Amino acid sequence: MLKILTSIVCILVSCSAFAQNDVKEDSIILKKIYSTSLLNGNSYQWLDYLSNQIGGRLSGSINAQLAVEWAEKELKKIGIDKVWLQPVMVPKWTRGVTEFAYIETEPGKTTNVPICALGGSVPTFIGGTKAPIIEVKHLSDLEKLGIDQVKGKIVFYNRPMQADLISTFSAYGGCVDQRYSGAAEAAKYGAVGVIVRSMNLRKDDFPHTGSMSYGTLKNKDKIPAAAISTNGADLLSSMLKLNPNIKFNFNMNCRTWKDVQSYNVIGQITGTTLPNEYMVVGGHLDSWDLGDGSHDDGAGVVQSMEVLRLLKEIGYKPKRTIRVVLFMNEENGLRGGKKYAAVAKNKGENHVFALESDAGGFTPRGFSFDCDTANFDQIKSWKPLFEPYLIHYFVKGRSGADIGPLKKEKMVLAGLRPDSQRYFDYHHAKNDTFDAVNKRELELGAATMTSLVYLFDTYGVK
């Protein structure tokens, strides 16, 4: 009995010593990861090239193809085990010449306002679609107004993002229905066009584009849809209050083409002992066409590439197979994400973990996790390791659009959560450019992602 007790005590003591050693070793490795990213990182240089030498890269564009070739070449340079392109057909939509719009108070008296076509919109009439304009706050307002008051008019959706929500993503979620479904809904009531207040918490002159859907509308019933800058929306709203009979004219020659060939770009470090367990880090390589897509999602792309580069740089050999996946077509189709998941399923690849960075290159605050309680408890036990880096935000929630299709039981999906305050100042707009990204903030994000990947590789998914 004494022997048994002694054994138990010994086991307990050695377990506890082991656990302490691990924590110490983990914190040394995290320190190495952060220091390497901040002192000798490559994410910022990569972003400089992607943003300033390639630029905006909407699916199906020449720039998107250039980005694919560049990413493949750069991943090969870092000397990982395997780099390849995964074919995927993507939609192709082009903006055409720069849009214009004006408010007409009486014939010949006009005021220009900044607009841009929503992604996927049909064009206006040649020379412009001009009509009286009616302001609403909610999609449901149309039902109250009825066909009589909407028919033949342009519908102006003007519900602002709710500024007192601390997460700007919640504020976005609370009004993006106007952009996504506004045209489909207004068309049902006979509207001839749709103008949507930009999803932006700041008052400025940048219209913000983004995806939209016509739902089940037939081609002949589709109406053109544009975003107006927040300053433009406020002006239009106040002019409408003064005179409800003003007209609005907007001109766009955007166009949807046949699907074209594109690619997800994939790089891999093959696992040493558990090569058949796959862990993915990724962002999306496509962007909208107005800016150069530095925050959305150039940052996520270079941070994901950097995860593999940092693991190599610090000499860490993962047990599991770590993949970086640069998804194509997140913005207007999610074809890349769906394709990657379909191929993985088809090949019977056992994906145990996926992490996406698609919320901007700002100071990282933590992650949101789509996982079960056992895994979330394990994650919470790692919180002290992240404290020196001011990473404090570990919540259950959504992960990322591109990795969503991978979801299955006993898998951890995670999304990097940077500070969100400035994200919608730039999101889908002309000012989403390289100069809006801070080098240190970007590098801290890359290190934070790498640290999580390291911990999951070391301790596994429960």
- Site of interaction with a copy of itself (CB under 8 A): 34-35, 38-39, 163-164, 166, 168, 201-202, 363, 365, 388-390, 392-393, 419, 421-422, 425, 438-441, 444
Residue 316 Cβ, how far from a copy of itself at the closest point, in Å? Answer: 18
Q: Which is nearer to a copy of itself, 21 or 45 (CB)?
A: 45
Q: Which is nearer to a copy of itself, 96 or 388 (CB)?
A: 388
Q: Which is nearer to a copy of itself, 5 or 39 (CB)?
A: 39
Separation between Cα atoms, residue 202 and residue 206, nearest integer Å: 10
210 near 171, Cβ under 8 Å?
A: no
Contacts of 338 (CB under 8 A, 6+ apart): 405
95 near 254, Cβ under 8 Å?
A: yes
Q: Which is nearer to a copy of itself, 215 or 388 (CB)?
A: 388
CA angle 259, 262, 264 (to 5 degrees): 135
Contacts of 288 (CB under 8 A, 6+ apart): 56, 58, 119, 209, 210, 296, 331, 428, 432
Beginning with the edge strand found earlier in the chain, give each strand of the sheet holding 109-112 in spatial order: 109-112, 100-106, 247-251, 129-136, 154-157, 193-197, 225-228, 115-117
Residue 388 Cβ, how far from a copy of itself at the closest point, in Å? Answer: 7
Residue 424 Cβ, how far from a copy of itself at the closest point, in Å? Answer: 10
Residue 386 Cβ, how far from a copy of itself at the closest point, in Å? Answer: 11
**Residue 138, exposed/middle/buried by CB under 10 A (0-12, 13-18, 19+)?**
middle
Q: Which is nearer to a copy of itself, 33 or 354 (CB)?
A: 33
Q: Residue 1 is encoded by which pair of tokens?
A: 């009995």
Residue 362 Cβ, how far from a copy of itself at the closest point, in Å? Answer: 9
Residue 34 Cβ, how far from a copy of itself at the closest point, in Å? Answer: 7
Instruction: Using DSSP bridges, classify how beta strands 393-396 and 364-370 pair: parallel, antiparallel or unpaired.
Output: parallel
**Amino acid found at 372:** D
φ/ψ of residue 274, rounded to 5: -130, 60
Q: Residue 222 is encoded by which pair of tokens?
A: 């589709």
3-state secondary structure at position 228: strand
Q: Which is nearer to a copy of itself, 12 or 390 (CB)?
A: 390
Residue 430 Cβ, how far from a copy of itself at the closest point, in Å? Answer: 16
CA-closest candidate to residue 415, choices 443, 440, 395, 442: 395
Contacts of 237 (CB under 8 A, 6+ apart): 135, 156, 158
Q: Which is nearer to a copy of itself, 25 or 387 (CB)?
A: 387
CA-closest candidate to residue 404, choices 324, 447, 321, 342: 342
Residue 160 Cβ, how far from a copy of itself at the closest point, in Å? Answer: 11
Q: Tokens 């901007």, residue?
A: 360
Residue 33 Cβ, how far from a copy of itself at the closest point, in Å? Answer: 11
Q: Which is nearer to a copy of itself, 38 or 235 (CB)?
A: 38
Q: Which is nearer to a copy of itself, 76 or 440 (CB)?
A: 440
